[in-house]
Structures are given as structure tokens and as C-alpha cells.
Structure 1
Amino acid sequence: MRTLLTPGKETELIGLELADLADGETLDLTRDTEIAAVILSGVVDVDGLGTAGGRAGVFDGPGHTVYAPPGTPLRFRATGGPAQIVLASAPLGDGTPGRARIIGPADQAVDERGEGNWARTVRTILGPDDDAGRLLLGETINPPGNWSSYPPHKHDTHEPPREVRLEEVYLFKVDPEGGFGIQLRYDGQGEEAFTVRDGDVAAIPAGYHPVVAAPGYSLCYLWVMAGQGRQMIPYLDPDHAWVQNG
């Protein structure tokens, strides 16, 4: 298990880890946090819950995620070949934990959002109406050259119903793997832009954060959010909201 993001260091609440299992290898874990284990590729048997996975990679289509409340012992065993799992976690806070279960493709909301060169596919794995305490997560697919998280939005101020405060992290996958995308982040304090490649992560504590895929390369990012409650009320940048409202 490789640590990608550590709460109290790169993030406030969200932890992110990555496990690469060889065929037949097992992973045992019990955490005092709420967790969601996303099967990026391969197949795993999960003791007490069943079999999860089956896609060769995130660009094949929606996959499987294992959700577990705090204190749940889990054992994953890769079967039929290697498997890659990303583990997202967050403290439960005041939320009510969901039941341990496997979330399959049929359990996810898959939406086509935007238009033109900001059209993308969003697979919501754990949304506000799903059985969980704090975590929100899903996968976004950018076609080559397209933008997402667009029009630019933020969710760093807690002023419901205008906006809710949620920190967010991204884990990027690129197809073909040698490609790249650009992650922007800006607010009233400044702005930054950085290249993202296959396997990179980004922690987004605040600010607007649009993403673009380079021409010729599809971009996927697993997004994980946690904060105050489980509403998703992004605030659009007023300078660019006209793109959606026009």
C-alpha cells in the first residue's frame, strides 16, 4: 500500500492510498475512518461481500467500489490477474455511516455534462443521496482536448444554500499513458497551473479548479470530497458562468 495523500499534511480530512496486488495477493485492513476502495483495474474477492472489479482500466467504463464504515475489517484478494485499488478515507464527523457494500456500475449515476469542448462524462459513485456518512466521490472522463470542472467552480465557503465547504482531491489517469493534462487552481490570493500525468494526484483545499486534457489523450480523474455535510453545491465563477447559462 502506497500513501498518496495524508490528512493533516497535504489535506485536512481526506486520505488517499494506492495498492497494486499481484494475482492471488491479499490486502487486509481495518480503519477508524470511513473508506471507499475503488477498483481501478482487475478483479478482487472481498471477504463477506463478494466479487468486485472486472474492467481493464478506468476508460473501459464504470467500475466497482467497496464502501465500509469505520472499524470494518476488510480482506481483498486479487483473482485472475493483478488488481489496482485506490483507497479513499475520511473521518466520519457528525455523519451517519452507511452499510458495508459493493457499489457496482448499475448503482452509479452516469451523466453527460457540458457541451462542445467542455463536454465530459461524470460517474457519481457516492453522491449526496447515497448511503454514507461523509465521503463523496466519482470519476470524470475528459475526451481529448476537453475541459471539465467547467465553468470553473469552487466549494470552499460554507454558506448554504449558496455554497458548501468541501475539500477535494483528484487522482489522474491518462490514455494513452504518455499523455498529460493541465490542472488550474485560482482564487483571490493567486493562481497556479501544473501538468498532470498518469498516476498524479492533486489536493484542492480551496479555489476554482478547472482541468483540461491535452489533444490526443483522454483524461480521467477520481474525485473525492469531504467537508461540512454531504451536499454538493458548487459556486460558479461569475466571470465564466455565462458559458453554462448562455
Structure 2
Amino acid sequence: MGVFYPSKPEKGFNEIVKLGTTTQYTGFGLINLDAEQIYQGTTQNAEYILNILSGKCTIEINGKVFANLGERRDVFSGKASGAYVPINSSFTITEVKGEKVEIAVLASYAERAFAPFAYGPHDVVSEHRGFLNFQRDVHNVVIEQFEGQVDRIVVGETIVKPGHWSGYPSHKHDKLNLPYETEMEEIYHFRIRPADGFGVQVIYNDDLSVRESYFLKDGDSVFIPDGYHPIAVAPGFQFYYLWVMAGPHGRILVPFDDPKLAWLNNVKPLLGKD
């Protein structure tokens, strides 16, 4: 069963999904700063990814400075930049462009301490997934390329074409059954262009004891502890969603497709698609 968090824009830090309340492993919030504003925070027993959604900033972590991070005006105009903050750390974010900066704070419980680092668009690994009317571009922000540099956290971004589905054929990752599936909870955060559009988040399980949906607007978030969780976007509107995952068994991503939809994977070769 999912948990829905409607958009509530706030200045400063807005903790949307508090780590360890509804969730076991993940948390999510947003930092919005005006020109030259500063935000200071600490991580305690969590590791953070500070993923810049728009604007430019300098991030200092435990005295190490990562200057002038951020290369996009919004989430639809380029790949992500940001920084990793280890457990038991302090950090400072300073807006440096004289405008505004918005940063997603993605959190996961962690046990091992690693060195802080910054990343940019050149570090993000991108791939096009799907065909027909379920196409999307997936940007792997902190996944395999940073294995051994983070403890549990997994972060990415997805851009969905207007009128298309994403996370389809429906998949889940709520139990450990390697090599077929791994266990990870997940949080989604959504943006829509134009902003007055909408989409739908669907969540269901095999016996349909869970079957629910959420009407998504710009800035909404959803926590997904289990179940299949595809997304549909209304025609005429482009969708972006940020995702953070973590679980008890490492960072290997092994999603399990709904067996009732497995036949869709056989259609693509018949259409001559690569």
C-alpha cells in the first residue's frame, strides 16, 4: 500500500517523507533557497544525496568544498549534478548564481562511512527504455557507477513521454528472491511540464488485495513500500520523476515483472525493435 504526499511548496527545508516513520530505509525532502541564501544540516545515521533540481550552489561537506554545482534551469533541461553526504556529517549549501536553487534531499539509513563526493552530468548513465506507448529515458544518477562509494542509497531520474506509461510492464521489488527479485522500498517525486498537467500512480499486488491509484500533480510524492507500481502520463504533458531506493540486502537492482504482462516483452522483437 502506498502513501501519498501532495505538493506543499516551502522555503528552506521541507521534510516530505521522514526517514524511519512510514519508511524503514528511505527519506525525502526539498531545500529551496533564494539568492545567496545558506542552509546548514547534519546527517547523523543516514547518508544523503543532495540532487540539484535547478539553479547553482556550492556544497561544503565536513570542510570539503564542492564549488559551483548545478548546470540546469529545471529538471527537464539536462542531467543532474549534486553531492554525496556520508553518515555523521555536517554540510552547508550556498546559492551562488544570485537567483534560486532547489535541491532534493534523498536519504537512506546507512552503517558504513564513506568519503563525500560530487557528481555532474558526465557521471549520469542514461538509457532509453520501452517502446510503443511506454517509452521513457532513465538517468541513473547514483547506481552502479558509485558502487563502493555509498552504503545503501540508490538514486535516479526518469523522463516520460506525453501520453505514455512508465515502470511498464509493471514491476516490483519487495522481496528477496535472487536472481529474480531483490527487496527495496522506493520514493517517487514528480514534476510535470506544463505544470497544470497530471498523471496517475498505480499500485497493486498479485492477489489484488492492494489495488490503488493516486492522481498526480506537479510536486507530488509517493512512498512505495511494496507492490507493482506503474505510472501513466496524460497526453500533452511531459513527466519527470526522481526516485530513491534502499533496502536491507545491498544495492543490486533486480526488479520482477508482473507475470501477467510478460508477453509484452515478446512483442518488441516482432515489431523489429532493437
Among 218, 227, 241, which residue is 1:207 paired with? 227
Measured on the aligned residues, the alpha-carbon RMSD in Å equals: 1.2
- Give the letter aligned to residue 108 of structure 2: A
1:96-151 deviations in Å (ceiling 9; x for gaps) = 44421111110010111111211100000011341211000100000100111111
What displacement does 1:7 show?
A: 2.4
1:124 corresponds to which letter in structure 2? N
CA contact (8 A) 1:174 1:197 kept: yes
**1:222 counterpart (235, 242, 257):** 242
Partner SS for 1:164:
strand
Q: Distance in 2 between matches of 1:190 and 1:197?
A: 22
Pairing 1:134-153 to 2, within 5 Å after superposition: 134-153=152-171
Q: Distance in 2 between matches of 1:109 and 1:97?
A: 24
Q: How do residues 226-241 of structure 1 correspond to structure 2 at under 5 angstroms?
A: 226-227=246-247, 228-241=249-262
- Equivalence for 2:110: 92
Large movers: runs of 4+ above 3 Å? none
- 2:43–2:85 CA contact under 8 A, matched in 1: no
What stretches of structure 1 of length at least 5 have no aligned partner?
Answer: none
Q: 1:105 to 1:218 in 2, by over 3 A?
A: same
Provide the TM-score with structure 1 as the length reference: 0.96
TM-score in terms of structure 2 length? 0.86
Shift of 1:186: 0.1
Q: 2:113 and 2:257 mapped to 1: Cα distance? A: 30
Cα displacement (A) at 1:3: 1.1
Segments of structure 2 that go 5 or more residues without pairing to the other structure are 1-12, 268-274
1:40 counterpart = 2:53:
yes
**Take 1:10 and 1:220, find their aligned partners in 2: how far apart are those partners?**
24
For residue 207 of structure 1, report the CA deviation from its aligned partner: 0.2
| Counterpart position of 2:25 | 13
Match of 1:126 among 142, 164, 168: 142
CA distance in 1, matches of 2:210, 2:15: 29
- Distance (Å, rounded) in 1 between the aligned partners of 2:70 and 2:89: 20
Letter in 2 for 1:2: N
2:87 to 70, 92, 104: 70
Which entry has the higher C-alpha Rg, 1 or 2?
A: 2
Does the 8 Å contact 1:128/1:232 carry over to 2? no
CA–CA distance in structure 2, aligned partners of residues 153 and 128 of structure 1: 20
| Count of aligned pairs | 244
